[in-house]
C-alpha cells in the first residue's frame, strides 16, 4: 500500500491530514504542502529484473506505485511489486520515504500469518526501492463498504471482519517486543472475494518500548488514531483497540470518523441484549482514556465471539418461530425484523 499523494503529514506532530487543509487537525500547526513528482522505473508489459513480467499497475501514491507481476522463474506465480521512488523528493521527504520502506521491510520479513501478506524479496536501484510481496486478489474494506447498501455491512460480516482483525492484531501484539500497527483503517485492510482479511501498509507500525514516556514521532490517520498517538503518551496495543473500535463503528453506521475525529455517535442497538452489548463494547474500545479500554485485543475477540454466538442463536430462534407460525397460520414477528443487519432501512 502506498500513501496517497492527496494526504500530508504534519511536520510538528506527525499526524496524517487530508487534502486541502491548511492546519493540522491534531495540533493546529500550519501545514506546508509540496507535492513532488513520482517517477516510475517499471513499465507495464515489460520484463523487470529479467524475472518479473509486469501485468498492470494496481495502485499509486505519493512515494511510488504497486504493480501486479508474474515470476517467470517460479511457474508464473503472481506477486505484487511495491516501488518506492525517491526521485524529485526533497531531502526530508527522502528520509521519510526511506525510513518508511525500511521499517516495513524489517517488520514483514519477521512475520508470518494468514492475515498478513508475505515478503519474498527486496532490492534497490538508484533513487528506487522495491518489495516483492504476495499479490492479494480483492479490494480494500473502504471500497467494499462503498458498494454496500446504505454503506452499512451485514452484522454477520462485521462480526467476521472484527474477529479476523482481532486475530491478526493479537498475533502482532504478542510478538516480543509487541508490534503496534498504529494505522488501522478501512483503506489499510484488504478483503478477498472469499471474505478473508489482510492488513497492509506497515509503514508506521512500531515496536512497543517499555519505559518510554511517549512516541518519538506521532503518526496516524485522523479519526482512527487514538489520542495518545499525538504526543500524549507512548502508543500501546490499546491504541490499535481504539482504531479497531473506530473501524467497527464505521462499518455499522457508515459514519466516517475522519470527518469528526474523537467524536462518535452512540450506537442504538436495542432490539436484542447481545446487540446492546456490542454497542457497549465498541464504546469501551473508543474511550479517550486508554486505561478504560479493554486490556487486550484477545479480550475484544472473546467478547465479539460471545456476542456473535448469542446473536446467531437469536436469529435461529426467530427463523424457527416464523416457520412454525407459517405452519400454524399464526403471525409471529420478532421485536426487530432487522436482525440480519444493523441500521439498514
CB 32 within 8 A of CB 16: no
- Position 206 scores a pLDDT of 58
Which part of the chain has CATH 3.30.200.20?
A: 36-134
Q: Is the Cα torsion angle 338, 340, 344, 345 positive or negative in sign?
A: negative
pLDDT band for position 203 (cuts 50, 70, 90) = low
CATH classification code of 139-307: 1.10.510.10
For the entire predicted model, the pTM comes to 0.77
User: Where would I find the H helices in 181-268?
Assistant: 237-253
pLDDT tens-place string over residues 253-302: 999 999 988 999 888 655 556 678 899 999 999 999 999 999 999 999 99
Spell out the residues 6+ positions from residue 42 whose beta carbon is closer than 8 angstroms to its own: 48, 54, 65, 67, 81, 83
Torsion of CA 39, 40, 41, 44, to 10 degrees: -150
pLDDT band for position 214 (cuts 50, 70, 90) = very low
Superfamily of domain 36-134: Phosphorylase Kinase; domain 1 (3.30.200.20)
DSSP conformation class of 15: B
- In whole angstroms, give the CA distance from residue 199 to residue 141: 10
The residue among 200 and 29 whose pLDDT is bigger is 200
- Position 274 scores a pLDDT of 64
pLDDT tens-place string over residues 76-120: 799 999 988 888 878 887 887 888 888 888 888 999 999 999 999
- In whole angstroms, give the CA distance from residue 212 to residue 210: 6
Q: Is the Cα torsion angle 304, 309, 195, 298 positive or negative in sign?
A: positive
- In whole angstroms, give the CA distance from residue 18 to residue 309: 39
First vs last C-alpha separation in the chain: 34
Catalytic residue chosen out of the listed positions 71, 170, 183, 240: 183
Which part of the chain has CATH 1.10.510.10?
A: 139-307
- Percentage with pLDDT > 70 across the chain: 72
Does the annotation mark 183 as catalytic?
yes
Residue with cell 467478547: 303
- In whole angstroms, give the CA distance from residue 283 to residue 298: 17
Summary mean pLDDT of the chain: 80
- Percentage with pLDDT > 90 across the chain: 47
pLDDT tens-place string over residues 124-134: 888 888 999 99
- Position 47 scores a pLDDT of 93
Amino acid at each position: 500500500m502506498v500513501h496517497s499523494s492527496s494526504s500530508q503529514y504534519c511536520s510538528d506532530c506527525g499526524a496524517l491530514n487530508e487534502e486541502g487543509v491548511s492546519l493540522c487537525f491534531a495540533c493546529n500547526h500550519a501545514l506546508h504542502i509540496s507535492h513532488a513528482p513520482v517517477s516510475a522505473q517499471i513499465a507495464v508489459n515489460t520484463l523487470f529484473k529479467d524475472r518479473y513480467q509486469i501485468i498492470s499497475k494496481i495502485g499509486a501514491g505519493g512515494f511510488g506505485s504497486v504493480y501486479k507481476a508474474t515470476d517467470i522463474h517460479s511457474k508464473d506465480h503472481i506477486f505484487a511489486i511495491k516501488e518506492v521512488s525517491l526521485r524529485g523528493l526533497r531531502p526530508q521527504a527522502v528520509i521519510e520515504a526511506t525510513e518508511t520502506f525500511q521499517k516495513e521491510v524489517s517488520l514483514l520479513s519477521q512475520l508470518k500469518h494468514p492475515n498478513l501478506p508475505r515478503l519474498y524479496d527486496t532490492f534497490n536501484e538508484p533513487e528506487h526501492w522495491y518489495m516483492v510481496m504476495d499479490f492479494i486478489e480483492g479490494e480494500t474494506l473502504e471500497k467494499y463498504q462503498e458498494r454496500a447498501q446504505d454503506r452499512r455491512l451485514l452484522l454477520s460480516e462485521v462480526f467476521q471482519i472484527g474477529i479476523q482483525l482481532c486475530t491478526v492484531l493479537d498475533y502482532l501484539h504478542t510478538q516480543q517486543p509487541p508490534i503496534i500497527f498504529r494505522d488501522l483503517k478501512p483503506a489499510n485492510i484488504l478483503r478477498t472475494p472469499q471474505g478473508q482479511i489482510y492488513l497492509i501498509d506497515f509503514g508506521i507500525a512500531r515496536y512497543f518500548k517499555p519505559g518510554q514516556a511517549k512516541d518519538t514521532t506521532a503518526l496516524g490517520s485522523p479519526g482512527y488514531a487514538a489520542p495518545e498517538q499525538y504526543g500524549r503518551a507512548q502508543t500501546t496495543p490499546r491504541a490499535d483497540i481504539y482504531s479497531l473500535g473506530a473501524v467497527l463503528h464505521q462499518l455499522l453506521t457508515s459514519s466516517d470518523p475522519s470527518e469528526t475525529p474523537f467524536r462518535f455517535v452512540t450506537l442504538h442497538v436495542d432490539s436484542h441484549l447481545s446487540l446492546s452489548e456490542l454497542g457497549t463494547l465498541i464504546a469501551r474500545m473508543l474511550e479517550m482514556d486508554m486505561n478504560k479500554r479493554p486490556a487486550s485485543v484477545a479480550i475484544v475477540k472473546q467478547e465479539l465471539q460471545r456476542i456473535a454466538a448469542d446473536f446467531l442463536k437469536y436469529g435461529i430462534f426467530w427463523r424457527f418461530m416464523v416457520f412454525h407460525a407459517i405452519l400454524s397460520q399464526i403471525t409471529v414477528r420478532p421485536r426487530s425484523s432487522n436482525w440480519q443487519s444493523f441500521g439498514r432501512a
